[in-house]
């Protein structure tokens, strides 16, 4: 039984609930600086103190709907307590994942950064107690916090979950992951038939390499300061962009993957680690055959040029049964 009260202690049972609401979060991106004249940019560079969401966020908000009392709802969620074992389990997992989220980014290793990430994740667990926290959410929220205030980050995350079907991915048994993997396999068969046969020969399942990409919207692969292009594209194209990104990676690595004759050797280039910035740079080198020319911006431009049947993808999404975790033919009455 769920008990939700706004006059109880904080989720962490803090002795000082008011301090839990005292956010000192500082937006980390330089989106606003990039729009300034060079001299103004130079003069303001050393004093990073942005506490409002950047202009990119205003673009993202066009795709979503906020409640009128968005800030009050968010703060009420933080004040409330939730007496539920699943919620306690979520809080414990959040605490474990705070240090694992963009470990190379100094901000998320500070108390202010950790507190901001914790607050948004805990607030979402209260907002959607039936789902709670699932690993991968931390990367998406942290990427949003790079550009957003806590309130904006929370509600944009809610929008991603509810309007952009991200929630399906995190549901028990992960039906959304099953949907995306089935579509990726179809696209691989269509665009990379040799690689599809190679994967089948060695029983390479899509879940083996795409699960983290799906759960984190590539946040476990792309550095926090580069996630803006991923988010831009996802808000505009949704999962169609995600599928293009996966196919792009597979195309870039196809020659190496076809040359591997062992399951472990096939999976290794696709299981991208996220322990340090060096590993992200190594991944770019791997995609570019060591030529050091590929950047995240160039990559996103190339991803957008990949052609897939977008109408068919939308049709498949409309005809996916979450309970059965499979595509079904819906007959009209």
Q: What is the mean pLDDT of the chain?
A: 87
Parallel, antiparallel, or unpaired for β 326-327 and 320-321?
antiparallel
Does residue 83 surpass a pLDDT of 70? yes
Say what percent of the chain tops pLDDT 90: 66
CA dist., res. 179 & res. 246, Å (int): 14
pLDDT (0 to 100) of residue 276 = 63
Average pLDDT estimate for 82-95: 94
Q: What is the CA radius of gyration of the chain?
A: 21
Are 4 and 82 a contacting pair, CB within 8 Å?
yes
CATH: 3.40.190.10, 1.10.8.270, 3.40.50.300, 2.60.40.3670. Which one for 49-164?
A: 1.10.8.270
pLDDT per residue over 185-200, tens digit each? 999 999 999 999 999 9
**The model scores a pTM over 0.75:** yes
Does residue 15 surpass a pLDDT of 50? no
pLDDT (0 to 100) of residue 5 = 42
Domain with CATH 1.10.472.80 in the chain: 170-327
Q: Is 44 exposed, middle or buried (0-12, 13-18, 19+ CB in 10 A)?
A: middle
pLDDT per residue over 280-332, tens digit each? 788 888 888 877 788 888 999 999 999 999 999 999 999 999 999 999 976 54
H/E element, 76: helix 70-79
pLDDT (0 to 100) of residue 293 = 86
Domain with CATH 1.10.8.270 in the chain: 49-164
Q: Domain 170-327 is in which class?
A: mainly alpha
Does residue 18 surpass a pLDDT of 50? no
User: Comparing 68-82, 84-98, 168-182, 289-303, which segment has the lowest mean pLDDT?
Assistant: 289-303
Are 141 and 153 a contacting pair, CB within 8 Å?
yes
pLDDT (0 to 100) of residue 21 = 59
User: How far is the CA of 330 from the CAs of 107, 312, 321, in angstroms?
Assistant: 48, 15, 10
User: Comparing 64-68, 129-133, 228-232, 250-254, which segment has the lowest mean pLDDT?
Assistant: 64-68
DSSP assignment, residue 292?
S
- Listed in order, strand segments (DSSP E) in 257-329 are 320-321, 326-327
CA dist., res. 292 & res. 310, Å (int): 32
- Residue position matching structure tokens 């049709």: 315
Q: What is the dihedral of CA 23, 24, 25, 30, to 10 degrees?
A: 150
Are 10 and 20 a contacting pair, CB within 8 Å?
yes
Q: What is the dihedral of CA 284, 286, 288, 293, to 10 degrees?
A: 40
- Residue position matching structure tokens 């607030």: 123
pLDDT per residue over 27-82, tens digit each? 998 887 776 544 444 444 444 556 789 988 988 988 888 888 999 999 999 999 88
């Amino acid at each position: 039984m769920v008990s939700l009260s706004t006059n109880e202690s904080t989720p962490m049972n803090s002795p000082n609930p008011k301090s839990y609401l005292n956010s000192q979060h500082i937006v980390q991106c330089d989106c606003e600086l990039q729009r300034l004249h060079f001299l103004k940019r130079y003069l303001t560079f050393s004093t990073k103190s942005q506490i409002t969401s950047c202009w990119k966020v205003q673009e993202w908000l066009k795709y979503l709907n906020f409640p009128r009392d968005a800030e009050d709802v968010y703060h009420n969620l933080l004040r409330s307590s939730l007496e539920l074992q699943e919620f306690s389990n979520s809080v414990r997992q959040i605490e474990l994942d705070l240090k694992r989220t963009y470990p190379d980014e100094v901000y998320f290793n500070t108390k202010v950064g950790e507190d901001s990430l914790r607050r948004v994740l805990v607030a979402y667990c209260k907002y959607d107690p039936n789902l709670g926290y699932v690993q991968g959410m931390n990367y998406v929220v942290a990427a949003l916090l790079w550009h957003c205030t806590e309130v904006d980050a929370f509600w944009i995350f809610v929008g991603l979950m509810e309007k952009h079907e991200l929630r399906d991915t995190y549901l028990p048994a992960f039906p959304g992951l099953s949907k995306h993997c089935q579509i990726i396999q179809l696209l691989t068969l269509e665009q990379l038939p040799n690689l599809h046969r190679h994967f089948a020969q060695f029983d390479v399942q899509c879940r083996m390499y795409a699960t983290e990409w799906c759960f984190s919207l590539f946040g476990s692969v792309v550095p926090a300061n580069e996630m803006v292009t991923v988010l831009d594209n996802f808000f505009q194209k949704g999962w169609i962009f995600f599928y293009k990104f996966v196919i792009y990676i597979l195309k870039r690595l196809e020659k190496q993957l076809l040359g591997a004759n062992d399951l472990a050797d096939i999976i290794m280039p696709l299981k991208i680690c996220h322990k340090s910035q060096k590993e992200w740079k190594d991944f770019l080198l791997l995609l570019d055959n060591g030529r050091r020319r590929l950047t995240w911006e160039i990559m996103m431009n190339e991803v957008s040029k990949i052609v897939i049947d977008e109408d068919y993808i939308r049709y498949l999404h409309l005809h996916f049964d979450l309970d059965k975790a499979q595509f079904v033919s819906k007959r009209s009455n």
